[in-house]
Structure 1
């Protein structure tokens, strides 16, 4: 991500938070805007061209997306008025704003936890992952498949995020998309996501103690995703972004074997 895009995204995200009337419907409209901008080389080029005055880019967005709701139009105009490194980054940025909008609109919904659950379901079903990730599949059919798989197991915001990303993957792998979405939701809620691998399920008290410890370590609230993996044997393995804390017995045994082999 270029420095221009980093600044553009930060400004746009701040404007999103300040915009009144953000709903799940607004998030859906932002996903639609991202898709339409990506599908039109002419439109994406015009909206991301730094040589065109910001006011002119905002006017183009207003003319093209004038039927969208007022909050959506306000966010889009702000986004296209920024200087992005390239047109692809603009599309990525609007998509991220859509995910952030879904998180803002659903404060009581465990979106990142539900997204993690969907990721686990897909990982456990290679045929499902293949069907959702196929470049030959129809986007509407993929969306319908996601709707059948999710049913009523997830909230509206989560369902919107998963369906929108699957319908418009842009050459990206499904689990990669969902992982990115989890990170965006956590960032919007000013927390981090910790994925914990354990040999057996943790009790509610154990999970809370782990959350408290990780919150102190990272200085922010922590959302916990637990994976039961018998290969861990005992102890636990925690991953927060690129940071890995491996206190599992399997890791200790592997280290011991390596020392003995040396």
Structure 2
């Protein structure tokens, strides 16, 4: 989001934070996701509620009439704040509600001391999709109903991942909102990581890192960047030896493959 929408998102987040403390976070996450999906499907509603020329109070009354008794009070108050705000583009209204649904899921995971699990599980599920094209095809198929996708994912993941992870993966599969599953998982992972203001580093190495190695690397990176760093580790035999770490636009490459490529570039120059 940019400009006006970014400022509006901050205002809506303040309202969300003021009501989320008393909410059932799982229910709040589900309801905000459902409202975002409603605004995506009903273009007239989205345009009307994001129309900056309409008085905020008028939009607030309309959305209360639409949703009263259908969602919890925290979800309703968050949605009211969203329709009262001004957005640079109409789609930013649904984007904001989806983002806050992810934040609610992350808060639920944190309350259960499972935020690290959710980060890891979202990352691993992305790798599962990459390795299973048939599964990816079914979950990406708009012709497959959301209910069928929920049943499939419940069978695959129930009791194997945190409840928040299952909710987020199911939400993304049922309502991708124009993104690939991989892009959606990356976006959700970034939002979850933000709950602790942590950076996310992607480590590629030829063999799995031991717990001690991972902890030492995370500590070194945290000290370097001045912020906590959560590591996602991807084993890739093509790196030959050593490891690389990608954090945002920064790449730290100590792999043998990277050194060979550097020598090739120097020779070519």
TM-score, normalized by the shorter chain, greater than 0.5? yes
The 1-side partners of 2:143 and 2:249 are apart by 33
Post-superposition Cα deviations, 1:196-244, rounded to whole Å, max 9, x if no partner, equal 1111111111111111111122222121111111111111111122322
Does the aligned pair in 2 maintain the 1:194–1:225 contact within 8 Å? yes
2:50 and 2:177 map into 1 onto residues whose CA distance is 18
Residue aligned with 1:106, SS: helix
- Give the Cα–Cα distance (whole angstroms) in 1 for the partners of residues 150 and 249 of structure 2: 31
Quote the Cα distance in structure 2 between the aligned partners of 1:60 and 1:243.
47
- The two structures have a TM-score, normalised by structure 2, of 0.93
Structure 1 stretches of 4+ with a deviation exceeding 4 A read none
1: distance between equivalents of 2:108 and 2:158?
21
Instruction: Please report the RMSD computed on the Cα atoms of aligned residues, expressed in angstroms.
Output: 1.4
Q: Which moved more, 1:6-15 or 1:207-216?
A: 6-15
Structure 2 CA distance for aligned equivalents of residues 188 and 15 of structure 1: 17
Distance in 1 of aligned mates of 2:118 and 2:15: 22
Partner SS for 2:161: coil
Kept in 2: contact 1:119–1:178 (CA 8 A): yes
Distance in structure 2 (CA, Å) of the matches to 1:203 and 1:72: 42
Choose from 47, 52, 55 the match for 2:54.
Answer: 52
- Comparing 135-144 with 20-29, which one deviates more in the overlay? 135-144
Give the superposition deviation at 1:27.
0.6
- Cα offset, 1:34, TM superposition: 0.6
- 1:134 deviates by 2.0
- 1:139 paired to 2:146: yes
How many residue pairs align between the two structures? Answer: 262
The answer as to 2:172 corresponding to 1:165 is yes
| Contiguous gaps of at least 5 residues in structure 2 | none
Q: Distance in 1 between matches of 2:252 and 2:9?
A: 30
Cα offset, 1:3, TM superposition: 0.8
Aligned mates of 2:265, 2:250 — CA distance in 1: 22
Contact map agreement 1:103 1:189 (CA 8 A) in 2: no
Corresponding residue number in structure 2 for 1:15: 15
Q: In the alignment, is the contact (CA less than 8 A) between 1:37 and 1:91 conserved in 2?
A: yes
After superposition, give the CA deviation of every residue in 1:60-81 in whole Å (9 maximum; x if it has no partner). Answer: 2211111211111121111222
Structure 2 residue 201 is matched with structure 1 residue 194 = yes
Measure the CA separation in 2 of the matches of 1:219 and 1:63.
47
- After the TM superposition, which of the residue ranges 240-249 and 124-133 deviates more from structure 2? 240-249
| Deviation (angstroms), 1:90 | 0.9
**1:102 corresponding residue in structure 2:** 105
What TM-score results when the alignment is normalised by the length of structure 1?
A: 0.95
Q: SS at 2:189's partner residue?
A: helix
Candidates 255, 263, 266, aligned match of 1:256: 263
Alignment of 1:36-185 (within 5 A): 36-67=38-69, 68-107=71-110, 108-109=113-114, 110-185=117-192
Establish whether residue 27 from structure 1 lines up as the match of residue 34 from structure 2.
Answer: no
CA-to-aligned-CA distance 1:141-197 (integer Å, 9 cap, x gap): 222222222232111111111101110112210111111000011112211211111
- CA–CA distance in 1 between the matches of 2:64 and 2:256? 58
The aligned residue for residue 222 of structure 2 is 215
